[in-house]
Structure 1
């Protein structure tokens, strides 16, 4: 026993701790009161301001939601606690001064997850008025039942009048739809052809439903209608009962139903057959569904839509009967009792009784069924389909007050003046608050106690704290970005932090201390901002690294970066907390200064082939390391001191050998005679040295001596003594002569150019003078005819009638 109690207490502690954590994770007042009914919200600005300054470095918003019993202690007090518990308002008398069901109106506001309950008292009345409508199957097989009803009609009315204060009775009948294949067209819609023993005047045409008598207290009228009723026929066994019930429920004024507050409504169904269901009408091509309205022919009172629409569904009939508070009593043959028991599961207000083979128990059955329904309390909750988030039950509390409890919520054999207490429990899930505002309006429910009365229940959900109405958008309290609501900041999606001070990119910070019990923020090397450490700079100018600034960049070796700056790990890696550089891709070495890129080791002349270090070295860290520095040198190891390719490099060694004063660096250079160069492994190259205007030429080659390669210098054969510079030495051409010759040449060229220019100018002037002189001569008058402008002033005239002996010449142009 003690061990069991220990396990129970441990489990209770775990659940309590989990609930407390669930509350603390809710950061808005709305979520706090709708997602966990054990939580409450602190709407105290002073508490928020204190927590915001205390936790300003964290990313998470500050939630003021706590478990109700821990709120004050966990937040250090709160002056305004939001913890709605819901409300219940009841009104006992609404439609009657002496109700059998109280209260008749209940209004509730429900907090999601927090159940509410209230009690309802149901008392069978001492007396009640009844409207009974007898709905009879008048197919041929019911002819005996019709005859018995005629015989028992007086007794039926008398007994019902004894059981009630005021009794009214009505009468209607049903058969089947007057369309094929439900009737035989060859019989002209009559049963006389099918049943020869029946006289023609005792049969009538088939119909689905016919209203014969309005509800009345006149027994003689009822007896007359029973006497005038005739049977009819149909082809199949099921009948149009659902069509008939639909019209009984829909035709309120035509049938004459009294208000439900004034009388109990009963419909007594007498039949020995099954009923047609929805979709059976498709056999006759009837696809349209009934509209649930009254369609009685004004003259014949026959349902005139039967041959136009399909049969209604049993669910539709159940809803219409329930809406009109009509209680059906099915008095049926034994063969179909199970069928109507199943129908009563859909129509919860229905009662089912069995008619004997000869229908002699009809009167007793009706009486017993009425007594049973008058003492049976069945709660039916209507309207729950509109609120699937609501769970609602109505259960008897006091063992049905000396009655009998059946089927969980139904009490029977409850007699006046006993009262049954029903406990009604309601609980709203948090999903309800996900609805839109229009979907969260007050919902009207109804608890119907069949035959006794109704309770109207108005339900509304609590989905807000009320303080949301005072929200301030872009509040200065929330960094002028978030919304200040119910003493907390609600940040947009791109911001975080208690007062929306952190960008959303800061999500994922792991805190600013190395452990929960550590008090050293960011290892003492930085500041905590938005739940992350912002590290300071180390003495070498670099920033401390690591989640908690625990890594010191001064512990790692440094190197020269391409920018020329000296950086830890050469700027190509991360300094680990162990003082070891973690190099980035393409770099290696202790300080990450060694690049794996080999492009810098390829000489420009070898770009096409990609040969590294001219084939005479290794590319290490992007730099050529020549294989033999005494032989190969240069940035790409392209220079060769022993390859007979560098005269300038050898000139100092040749001079020192001539002067016989050589350093050790020239030991690899030897001067040999011409006949000793046979063992060279490279072609000879000719070089020269100029000394005192004397040029000495020699040849350079390489000879192999063992494993060593040495340079040999071979002088010209005419130079038997290398110390004798004049031997074989040709005089050097005077250098000063060259500029002198060039100067003289330039001067002569200038004189020639000037002379040609002067001569050309003189020639041009001479030719221009000759042309001018000639033009002057051409301007003189020329009487000899040379002048083309000269005109002779002498004219001659001859008289054709006068023939002088001599011609007179007139000079000067005078008159004749």
Structure 2
């Protein structure tokens, strides 16, 4: 965070300084008040006479930044900002009665005064009103395949009206249908088939194909809607696509016939199970006249179906926007992808999946209407003049298809900011009007704007041949327009004067013949160099003879001298490189960090140029640091025995052979982490351990960097292996016994519990059991008493 804060505190002032310098150079180049104020809102004009102006760095400028002129010309400074004022601002409200209109957008009228190249921002608010009027026109494909859909819709009309009235109480329904153009090859040319194109198995009413029929004007009579849908006959055609776009165009533009209200949300529900014909398909039937986008209805039927081609998608989209109409495509699953693509090309269009019998049409319409009505998109009328740009900034995070679109529920408020910018003088500064509106609604904001194309001082009568211009020019806004034969800031120079040639010679660089090097004008012996804006670049021309510039030096990546941090362009058209850079264009770094490897530059097999190694062609070494040598003998096999001998005191070499190893050895912790040198790895003579080392050249000697320890595999003895196996078997057997004993215990406990439960159920009450008898029986004789009874009992036993 500290680094980020430091960079922000460092970069922002630099950007501000660059912006100020650029604005300064651009302002200084303007020679009239109107061009000065039209350049930037940072520029201002000084209408004071040149001779009375203060100077800055030995020169003065009528057009300068506002900050500079507040110091040098505070009493004659000409500048202004764009501003606006509201003409009408009715409060946002719902419609009180059916005749009153809701106010959903504010303000309603604004007047804007624009300075050229200076924008003005206007805050606007939108609130979706309750019970906003809705006109829903149901446009249905009545080819024979949609028969079951028609029958279903005729029973769902009242449910649809009830559902929509829960959203808005001001709701109306209309109905129309379409099939296709009644010309071959779209229909069967046989006479009997033309009159009755339905399948022979169908016995119901069937009429010949037609482009579009209007059955019912928009109304709140739900019973009439159900009747018209039920009584509408079906038809048929040959090809799968239908003429739906013909019908959509007529439903949009025939306002009086359809019955669209001016203050309603207009909605077309387009129901079909097939695709649609594009503009140009009419040529198949010899129809070449393009669709004119006008209403052609007679007796509620489209009359130009066989005269004009199908409308294009662009025409449909434009008419929907012009008439503020939204469209819902209710299509079957097989056509869903096609119409989904179509909605991406039409603003305010949505698509929903229609079941085969249209049983879900009510929910589909209500859900998609809520989606459309809650989506608010700001639009600009088509009469926006050239040179004027309008940008919307909504307070929501949504941005669909790069359009200012937000979602809001009924009663919710959205805030937008409209930024208006004029890049030139429009209509000579006369008032001009355009509109801002919400797509699909009639709420508009009328914007009247004027561009300020002239300076106030230009309206003051100009002074001809006055003392301000040495009696040889017209004085206006502090500058002189010299008469023919005179020049200079105050027209003080005479072309026909005897010393005019001497003054022109003062503008010619010795050894050349061009005045001001051909890049400036000589004014009374001094060169006025061309400005950067005149040349179409952000650099400058300077020097006593305009001989120097900032754009004739070599470039790299379209940057002069590879950029300001690499070098600067000097007057001799050469780059003066800063420290750390070299080359004609200062693009080569003098640092060698990227070329170093093992304290050597390019592995001693090349040279470092511009931060990159250039390997010697004859060495055979390649790579970014000249370490790879594909043609060299592989050193791993040749150095293996010496490594075993010198580092690990093993291997097949004798002591004398070991002493003759010509390499330099180094030990490291882990050779596998050394990514800069070639890695060697081998198993030792017992094949139980593996050792690793790397090699590289250093000062014409091969250096071997060997890992200190070997990586060994642990091998168990036979005795240990037998013990482990036997122990594992015993442990597994013991585990199995424990599991068996646990399962047996659980089983015994379960059986005992079951036994106890059954025994409890088997108990009988002794006083009610008829089979129960006592173990002894006692008899009483009422005649005898005492021992006689006992003696009698004993004798009987």
| 1:362 matches 2:361 | yes
Residue deviations 1:59-89 (CA, integer Å, cap 9, x gap) = x9x75211112212134x3234232333343
| 1:82 matches 2:48 | no
Residue deviations 1:569-614 (CA, integer Å, cap 9, x gap) = xxxxxxxxxxxxxxxxxxxxxxxxxxxxxxxxxxxxxxxxxxxxxx
Choose which of 135, 145, 148 in structure 1 pairs with 2:149: 145
Aligned to 2:490: 499
Unaligned segments of structure 2, at least 5 residues: 93-99, 510-521, 528-543, 546-797
Residue deviations 1:230-276 (CA, integer Å, cap 9, x gap) = 1111222222222112211221111111122xx22111111122222
The structure with the larger Rg is 1
Assess if the C-alpha contact under 8 Å between 2:272 and 2:330 holds in 1.
Answer: yes
Query: How far did residue 503 of structure 1 move?
Result: 6.3
| 1:50 matches 2:49 | no
Query: How far did residue 149 of structure 1 move?
Result: 0.7
| 1:24 matches 2:28 | yes
The whole-number CA distance in structure 2 between the counterparts of 1:395 and 1:340 is: 30
| 1:275 matches 2:268 | no
The whole-number CA distance in structure 1 between the counterparts of 2:101 and 2:495 is: 65
- Taking the TM superposition and a 5 Å limit, the aligned residue runs for 1:638-677 are none
Aligned to 2:663: none
Aligned to 1:541: none
| Greater length-normalized contact order (CA 8 Å, ≥ 6 residues apart) | 1
- Taking the TM superposition and a 5 Å limit, the aligned residue runs for 1:644-723 are none
The whole-number CA distance in structure 2 between the counterparts of 1:329 and 1:361 is: 14
Aligned residue for 1:377, secondary structure, equals: strand
TM-score with structure 1 setting the length: 0.56
Residue deviations 1:159-182 (CA, integer Å, cap 9, x gap) = 122221222111111111122222
The whole-number CA distance in structure 1 between the counterparts of 2:367 and 2:182 is: 35
Aligned to 2:288: 287
- Taking the TM superposition and a 5 Å limit, the aligned residue runs for 1:547-696 are none
Unaligned segments of structure 1, at least 5 residues: 516-527, 534-546, 549-816
The whole-number CA distance in structure 1 between the counterparts of 2:114 and 2:51 is: 32
| 1:485 matches 2:485 | no
Assess if the C-alpha contact under 8 Å between 2:265 and 2:440 holds in 1.
Answer: no
The verdict on how the C-alpha distance between 1:316 and 1:379 changes in structure 2, with shifts beyond 3 A counting, is same
Query: How far did residue 356 of structure 1 move?
Result: 2.1
The whole-number CA distance in structure 2 between the counterparts of 1:507 and 1:169 is: 88
The verdict on how the C-alpha distance between 1:513 and 1:306 changes in structure 2, with shifts beyond 3 A counting, is closer
The whole-number CA distance in structure 2 between the counterparts of 1:92 and 1:185 is: 62
Query: How far did residue 336 of structure 1 move?
Result: 2.3
The whole-number CA distance in structure 2 between the counterparts of 1:198 and 1:356 is: 22
Residue deviations 1:466-494 (CA, integer Å, cap 9, x gap) = 43333537543445664433232245797
Query: How far did residue 138 of structure 1 move?
Result: 1.0
Q: What number of residue pairs does the alignment pair up?
A: 501
Aligned to 1:393: 391
Residue deviations 1:356-381 (CA, integer Å, cap 9, x gap) = 23322111101111222222222223
Assess if the C-alpha contact under 8 Å between 1:134 and 1:171 holds in 2.
Answer: yes
Aligned to 1:423: 417
Aligned to 1:155: 159
Assess if the C-alpha contact under 8 Å between 1:32 and 1:41 holds in 2.
Answer: yes
The verdict on how the C-alpha distance between 1:178 and 1:63 changes in structure 2, with shifts beyond 3 A counting, is farther
> More deviation in 1-10 or 318-327?
1-10
TM-score with structure 2 setting the length: 0.57
The verdict on how the C-alpha distance between 1:4 and 1:103 changes in structure 2, with shifts beyond 3 A counting, is closer
Assess if the C-alpha contact under 8 Å between 1:34 and 1:112 holds in 2.
Answer: yes
The whole-number CA distance in structure 2 between the counterparts of 1:192 and 1:508 is: 101
- Taking the TM superposition and a 5 Å limit, the aligned residue runs for 1:467-546 are 467-472=457-462, 474-476=464-466, 477-478=468-469, 482-491=473-482, 496-502=487-493, 530-532=524-526
Assess if the C-alpha contact under 8 Å between 2:394 and 2:406 holds in 1.
Answer: no
Assess if the C-alpha contact under 8 Å between 1:42 and 1:71 holds in 2.
Answer: yes
| 1:217 matches 2:220 | yes
Aligned residue for 1:198, secondary structure, equals: coil
| 1:208 matches 2:211 | yes
The whole-number CA distance in structure 1 between the counterparts of 2:67 and 2:231 is: 77
The whole-number CA distance in structure 2 between the counterparts of 1:460 and 1:341 is: 42
Aligned to 1:673: none
Residue deviations 1:106-137 (CA, integer Å, cap 9, x gap) = 33222232222122211121212211111111
Assess if the C-alpha contact under 8 Å between 2:188 and 2:197 holds in 1.
Answer: no
Assess if the C-alpha contact under 8 Å between 1:101 and 1:452 holds in 2.
Answer: no
The whole-number CA distance in structure 2 between the counterparts of 1:337 and 1:492 is: 75
Assess if the C-alpha contact under 8 Å between 2:180 and 2:211 holds in 1.
Answer: yes
The whole-number CA distance in structure 2 between the counterparts of 1:117 and 1:303 is: 47
Assess if the C-alpha contact under 8 Å between 1:33 and 1:84 holds in 2.
Answer: no
Assess if the C-alpha contact under 8 Å between 1:190 and 1:233 holds in 2.
Answer: no
The verdict on how the C-alpha distance between 1:395 and 1:36 changes in structure 2, with shifts beyond 3 A counting, is closer
Residue deviations 1:388-413 (CA, integer Å, cap 9, x gap) = 533322232155xxxx7755656565
Aligned to 1:41: 45
The whole-number CA distance in structure 2 between the counterparts of 1:137 and 1:98 is: 35
The whole-number CA distance in structure 2 between the counterparts of 1:388 and 1:146 is: 49
The whole-number CA distance in structure 1 between the counterparts of 2:412 and 2:85 is: 26
| 1:129 matches 2:133 | yes
Aligned residue for 1:276, secondary structure, equals: coil
The whole-number CA distance in structure 1 between the counterparts of 2:502 and 2:153 is: 85
Aligned Cα root-mean-square deviation (Å): 3.5
Choose which of 88, 104, 107 in structure 1 pairs with 2:108: 104
Query: How far did residue 355 of structure 1 move?
Result: 0.8
> More deviation in 440-449 or 413-422?
440-449
Assess if the C-alpha contact under 8 Å between 2:24 and 2:64 holds in 1.
Answer: yes
Choose which of 440, 464, 472 in structure 2 pairs with 1:450: 440
Query: How far did residue 226 of structure 1 move?
Result: 0.8
